[in-house]
Amino acid sequence: MIVQAHDPAFTEMLAQVRHFIRDICMPLEEQIDRDDQIPEPVVEQMRALGLFGHSIPAEYGGSGLDTEALARINIEVSQAAPVIRARFGGNTGIASESLIADGTDAQKRQWLPLLASGRITGCFALTELDAGSDATALGTRAERTDSGWVINGRKRYITNAPIADLFTVFARTDDSRRGGSGISAFLVPRSTPGLNAPPGPRKMGQHGSPVGEVLLDNCRVPHEALLGGREGQGFRSAMKALNKQRINLAALCVGPAIRLVEEMFAFARSRKQFGMPVAEFQLVQQMVAESNTEVHAARALVLETARARDRGEDVTMEASMCKLFASEMCGRVADRAVQVMGGAGYMAGNVAERFYRDVRLFRLYEGTSQIHLLNIMRQMQSRAADARN
């Protein structure tokens, strides 16, 4: 069963999430940023609320939300520090989508209920030193043996790797084929000998969301670990998941921007200079009004694209537009929030200062802004060519 955004059950779910985000998570944001850790009782509440499994089909223990419902949840959860969503975002996003799309029945039955309940944490290990935007340039290799596969390579910048229990590892299995077609994906449990995922370096922001390397040194997995049981399909599986994931990520950019508009508006009305609230100055009003307008535009684009995907339309170009516009918009809004708050917005512990650091990442991962611009143009050209034929 798929839960849609207009179902009464979804309205109730959204209200519960709103309460959790506003009353439990927001008061803890500063502590999480300082300690670089989300308290375990908060993670336990995420499990109880079903947050780890919102996008996973109900038959595997998830909530089976459609794209619009998921976007609405993401807009809600991301109004608190983005690391809150990052804790469960792999399970209900990039780390489970390829498995849902192309996993074998046995793989789905083995892993999806564990991911949906949050009993295990998943991660998506694609990026390497020489394979960032050019993801198909990866150097990780998997060699077939009688008993399975031997994987060797080194991944970096992998969200949740230091705490993950299950790694979706992308490796080249066929050197004779170029691009994505020689790449396969493997489901590798943390306990597998030869897999190491040490604690990662400290980042600019999103403290509390561990990111690190995955070292694969003669890491042996059985044949059953090959995603979908088919060689050379891994990259295609990842790409299939991407349209949905880009809409998810765009929704995650809308939430912080909503929050920042609320915060800058409240600040501008309370902070007095020259004998009046700074909200009375038209130059300040411009920053707040432009931010609010851009938030509404991004939200509308994300929800419309989500609905189009739910109708079965091809949204490859629109999903890229969502990711590009919403992440750039969020960066502009965060910058204005600091500006509206003046020196206060630059001080550690201030909400604008924290979000400014946290949201910078949105323009980098899951396709940089430049890569999305290229993708939009490529899609326009391919649609124009289709129209001519």
Ligand X SMILES: Cc1cc2nc3c(=O)[nH]c(=O)nc-3n(C[C@H](O)[C@H](O)[C@H](O)COP(=O)(O)OP(=O)(O)OC[C@H]3O[C@@H](n4cnc5c(N)ncnc54)[C@H](O)[C@@H]3O)c2cc1C
Q: Kindly list the residues in this chain that would bind ligand X in the complex (CB under 6 A).
A: 123-127, 132-133, 157-159, 203, 211, 361, 364-366, 368, 370-371, 374
| C-beta of 169 vs 301, nearer to ligand X | 169
| C-beta of 130 vs 175, nearer to ligand X | 130
Strand partners, 226: 186
Q: Which residue's Cβ lies closest to ligand X?
A: 132
| C-beta of 51 vs 123, nearer to ligand X | 123
End-to-end CA distance of the chain: 39
Shortest distance, position 167 Cβ to ligand X, whole Å: 10
Angle among Cα 256, 310, 116 to the nearest 5 degrees reads 65
The pair of structure tokens assigned to 376 is 């939009």
Tally Cβ neighbours within 10 Å of residue 192: 18
Distance CA(382)–CA(219), nearest Å, equals 41
Shortest distance, position 374 Cβ to ligand X, whole Å: 6
Angle among Cα 178, 179, 181 to the nearest 5 degrees reads 85
| C-beta of 60 vs 124, nearer to ligand X | 124
Distance CA(123)–CA(161), nearest Å, equals 6
Tally Cβ neighbours within 10 Å of residue 191: 7
Shortest distance, position 232 Cβ to ligand X, whole Å: 19
58 in Cβ contact with 118 (< 8 Å): no
The values of phi and psi at residue 10, to 5°, are -70, -40
Q: What is the DSSP string of 305-346?
A: HHHHHHTT---HHHHHHHHHHHHHHHHHHHHHHHHHHGGGGG
- What's the Cα-to-Cα distance from 20 to each of 34, 49, 63, 79, 233, rounded to whole Å? 21, 9, 17, 11, 39
Shortest distance, position 154 Cβ to ligand X, whole Å: 12
Segment (H or E) for 89: helix 82-89
Strand partners, 220: 150
Shortest distance, position 169 Cβ to ligand X, whole Å: 10
C-alpha count within 13 angstroms, C-beta hemisphere, residue 303: 15
Shortest distance, position 364 Cβ to ligand X, whole Å: 5
| C-beta of 33 vs 263, nearer to ligand X | 33
Sequence length of the chain is 389
| C-beta of 291 vs 375, nearer to ligand X | 375
Residues identified as active-site: 366
The pair of structure tokens assigned to 200 is 């990662």
Locus of tokens 């597998």? 192
| C-beta of 140 vs 233, nearer to ligand X | 140
Shortest distance, position 7 Cβ to ligand X, whole Å: 31
Distance CA(243)–CA(306), nearest Å, equals 10
